[in-house]
Structure 1
Amino acid sequence: MNVSDRHAVDLSSGLEDVPVLFTGLTLPTFQYSPDNVQGPGCTVDPSEVTVPGCSCRSHSCFTESCSCLQTHGRAYSSTGTLLELTRTDSGYCSPAFECNALCTCSDACSNRVVQRGLQLRLEVFGTRNRGWGVRTLEEIPRGTFVCEYAGEVISFGEARRRQLAQRSEENNYIIAVREHAGTGSITETFVDPAQVGNVGRFLNHSCLPNLFMLPVRAHSVIPRLALFAGRDIDAQEELTFDYSGGYTDQNPVELLSTQSESAVQASRTDGLQRKACHCGANKCTRFLPLDLSILS
């Protein structure tokens, strides 16, 4: 049975360029938003343009003349595929930077990928034992941008408060991104799509995922949490990512905390409910990460 034979609705209500199909009987309760929104404790509006732009007049930017590419490097091929698909030996990844609303290049510039939004046909469906999930209705080549993990951008204090207030049967959607820029310089971003979010909120964890997360900056200093295909993905395959941010056997994980290392370790299980992992991978760790975080 193909999708056209089933009754399906657009979960995004037309907010995405491509409909997000949903075939369940009861629509999940949340507000759909394709982009991050400002939440409690966040001092920067994610929709505000805070990154300088280039003055390129060409259809697509060239490294020789584009200030964006010269400053941050080229992240994508001419067809929009992510160029760097591997982490460094330390397990860290580097964020990608795109041209933005202040740039004078065209909207079709090859350095504009994530900001174009969802371009693939995805479907939210009910899994056998892991609640909702997302599958692709078309083949996805390795390195292709799939979707964002968008939601409310909140402060550390609000993220911690929401975690500790959760009941054991509730899902924890909060992703924490810690970016290390130089000695002792750490920028933290917390995104929670529980009440306001996009299709990314329905992605399940896997210890052997086919997607990986990469912070991407376009218009704002607040990164967009973009998910890319780590390998070629077949049509009808469920899409998953590692909630700890890893895409190898060595996954860096950090607590939602700015405390000392000893305090972090002591508080690792303080008030947080540990949930079993049902991904079914051969190398399954049996438990979901307590803290959904990635490093860059």
Structure 2
Amino acid sequence: MNDNYTHVDTEVFYITENIMGPFEDSSEYEQLLNNFNSLLSGSCSCSGNCTQLCRCVQASGGDNYLAYLADGQKKFTLIPKSNSCPIIECNDICSCSVVCGNRVVQTGPAEGLEIRSCDKGYGLFTATFIHSGTFICEYAGELITANQATKRHENNETLGKSNYIFCLREMSNDRQPILTIVDPAVFGNIGRYINHSCEPNCIVTPVRCGSPVPKFAIFASTDIEENEELTFNYGLNDDVKQNTTDRTKCLCKSKNCSGFMPFQSY
């Protein structure tokens, strides 16, 4: 993975990918650890660049990315899915090329990203134009359980600290919810500096790169101009009717701002 970024906050440890959080004596932690140390059973035997016959592409319900040329370089954009198939990239045990068109997220964040001071503290900006569908970076941090997330959230509120915990809910084939929770407060990458917006220019999409644990991949949802701040919605399923007494005021300044930061539960 090519990741040459660093933190502006010296109290934060820079990591390029998710790491396991502290031990917890629970079945949820045991399952999380098992998934973290496991590999997806599927792999492809393609030679060179993968095609529609690739096993990983087929498991994804078709191509995940569309290739195009820009400034003489081959680049990729995310293809919107009309089905419920997961995005599965080729992995380390696949025989295809390391520059296969189905290896985008695992190669590392986009170039030209800059952490800058703003009215929200810090924010992530782009120094160059970003085409819609382009992979920006991963939202990486500690993988923790719901119990740990709840305790950390309560502790953040008590101490007046910012909350960076991100909870992803997916539905399994038997319609059972699958939770993946990441906290980049102390261990994280450049993705932790992306602020919330009620009208964001990025989306978070789960992408699996050889592991059952998905990466929280951030893609541009529209063309993003030079020097524009990168944002995503922290809670797309947020209930705006929740009691706003303890809610944090939203500073996104978008035309359709809800007024408050999303309500978080685990």
In the superposition, the TM-score normalised over structure 1's length comes to 0.77
Matched, 1:284 2:254: no
Query: Which AA in structure 2 matches 1:82?
Result: L
| 1:182-261 alignment runs, 5 A limit | 182-244=173-235, 251-253=236-238
Matched, 1:50 2:72: no
Whole-angstrom CA distance in 1 between matches of 2:85 and 2:128: 29
| 1:1-296 alignment runs, 5 A limit | 17=2, 19-20=4-5, 27-40=9-22, 41=24, 42=29, 43-44=32-33, 48-64=37-53, 66-73=54-61, 74-78=63-67, 79-84=75-80, 95-127=86-118, 129-167=119-157, 169-244=160-235, 251-253=236-238, 273-291=246-264
**Structure 1: segments with no counterpart, 5+ residues:** 1-15, 245-250, 255-264
Query: Which AA in structure 2 matches 1:149?
Result: Y
CA contact (8 A) 2:40 2:210 kept: yes
Whole-angstrom CA distance in 1 between matches of 2:34 and 2:243: 32
Flag the 1:173–1:33 CA change in 2: closer, same or farther, 3 A. same
Flag the 1:47–1:235 CA change in 2: closer, same or farther, 3 A. farther
Q: Secondary structure at the match of 1:68?
A: helix
- Figure out how many residues of one structure are paired with residues of the other and give that number: 249
Whole-angstrom CA distance in 1 between matches of 2:182 and 2:121: 21
Whole-angstrom CA distance in 1 between matches of 2:207 and 2:90: 11
Using the TM superposition, give the Cα deviation of residue 105 of structure 1 relative to its aligned residue in structure 2, in angstroms.
Answer: 0.7
Whole-angstrom CA distance in 2 between matches of 1:156 and 1:292: 9
What is the CA RMSD across the aligned residues, in angstroms?
A: 2.6
Query: Which AA in structure 1 matches 2:13?
Result: Q
Greater mean deviation of Cα atoms: 97-106 or 53-62:
53-62
CA contact (8 A) 2:206 2:216 kept: yes
**Structure 2: segments with no counterpart, 5+ residues:** 68-74
Q: Secondary structure at the match of 2:78?
A: coil
Query: Which AA in structure 1 matches 2:76?
Result: G
Whole-angstrom CA distance in 1 between matches of 2:192 and 2:59: 32
Q: Secondary structure at the match of 1:201?
A: helix
Query: Which AA in structure 2 matches 1:287?
Result: F
Q: Give the aligned partner of residue 248 of structure 1.
A: none
Query: Which AA in structure 1 matches 2:55?
Result: S
Identity %: 35
